[in-house]
């Protein structure tokens, strides 16, 4: 953590106001360290040390590794309206990316995913209950080997009723040397393409529903480019109030 703190000190001193915390299997951070640690304790530490004027945004988290303490950090001080960074409140962004890949437990097992749709659904429902303004994205694979029409229908039904706000859709394609490339019952390319298109349509509806639900809400945002555009803590790109320079915290009404 000493090296991380030094790096954070350097970038904060240079004027950066938003910092993304990223890594492979980020939710399992700290398990391989001699001194016991976790992603939640790391976020608590950096928030206390640097959070007065910095928003920490977390990159992709695997569903089985999601530390629920993060919700405490992302929701602290938000009763009665969203605080701007610098207000003394927690500044972990209400923005999460949680790869699902599929809603069929059989397909998830074939993918070697160590969670179930029941676990995933309970997780994102909890996030939505705790953080109504949170953006929740996911990765979905269309046409994984063996995916049946019934399993695809199960996937679309779940997504349409889920609290997710956007999807990254990946049409399945063979990669030499992977276990998946040797699986039987490959889905025809034209079917994969059609299923991916259907999932993208669902993503557009989810994103539209989230925009509608957030209309009229007030969010903290950071100005970018020439100062005429800002990105909110829950990841909307919106016009900034006039007369702002880039890299300024502002409050915007969506």
- 217's tokens: 């809400």
- 21's tokens: 């915390």
What DSSP element (H or E) covers 166?
A: strand 166-171
Nearest to 136 by CA among 148, 145, 124, 146: 124
Spatial neighbors of 31 by CB under 8 A, at least 6 apart, are: 38
Q: Identify the pLDDT of residue 76.
A: 64
Q: Identify the pLDDT of residue 62.
A: 94
Mean of pLDDT values over 188-201: 98
User: What is the average pLDDT score of the chain?
Assistant: 89
Q: Identify the pLDDT of residue 78.
A: 45
Contact assessment for residue 209 and residue 240, using Cβ atoms and an 8 Å cutoff: no
| CA atoms within 13 Å, Cβ hemisphere of 35 | 4
Contact assessment for residue 55 and residue 18, using Cβ atoms and an 8 Å cutoff: yes
21-77 confidence digits (pLDDT tens): 888 888 888 777 767 788 888 888 877 777 667 888 999 999 999 988 888 888 764
- 198's tokens: 């259907």
Rounded to whole angstroms, the Cα distance separating 141 from 38 reads 29
Q: Identify the pLDDT of residue 79.
A: 41
Indicate whether 122 pLDDT > 60.
yes
Contact assessment for residue 219 and residue 251, using Cβ atoms and an 8 Å cutoff: yes
Cross-strand pairs, 29: none
At 143 the three-state DSSP class reads coil
140-171 confidence digits (pLDDT tens): 999 999 999 999 999 999 999 999 999 999 99
Give me the count of residues in the chain. Answer: 254
- Using pLDDT thresholds of 50, 70 and 90, give the confidence band for residue 80: very low
Q: Identify the pLDDT of residue 124.
A: 98
Indicate whether 81 pLDDT > 50.
no
89-118 confidence digits (pLDDT tens): 557 899 999 999 999 999 999 999 999 999
Q: Identify the pLDDT of residue 1.
A: 59
Comparison of pLDDT for 49 and 176, the residue scoring more: 176
At 195 the three-state DSSP class reads helix
């Amino acid at each position: 953590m000493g090296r991380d703190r030094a790096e954070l000190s350097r970038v904060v001193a240079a004027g950066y106001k938003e910092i993304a915390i990223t890594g492979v299997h980020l939710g399992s951070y700290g398990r391989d360290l001699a001194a016991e640690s976790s992603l939640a304790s790391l976020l608590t530490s950096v928030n206390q040390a640097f959070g007065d004027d910095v928003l920490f945004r977390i990159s992709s988290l695997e569903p089985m590794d999601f530390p629920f303490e993060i919700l405490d950090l992302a929701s602290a001080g938000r009763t009665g309206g969203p605080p701007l960074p610098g207000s003394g409140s927690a500044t972990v962004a209400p923005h999460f990316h949680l790869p699902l890949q599929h809603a069929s437990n059989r397909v998830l097992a074939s993918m070697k995913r160590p969670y179930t749709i029941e676990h995933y659904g309970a997780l994102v429902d909890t996030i939505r209950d705790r953080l109504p303004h949170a953006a929740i994205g996911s990765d979905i694979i269309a046409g994984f080997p063996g995916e049946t029409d019934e399993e695809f229908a199960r996937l679309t039904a779940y997504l349409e009723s889920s609290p997710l706000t956007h999807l990254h859709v990946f049409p399945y394609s063979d990669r030499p040397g992977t276990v998946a490339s040797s699986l039987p019952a490959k889905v025809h390319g034209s079917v994969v393409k059609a299923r991916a298109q259907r999932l993208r349509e669902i993503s557009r509806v989810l994103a539209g529903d989230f925009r509608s639900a957030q209309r009229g809400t007030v969010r903290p945002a950071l100005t970018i480019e020439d100062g005429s555009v800002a990105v909110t803590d829950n990841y909307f790109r919106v016009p900034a109030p006039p007369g702002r320079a880039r890299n300024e915290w502002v409050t915007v009404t969506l």
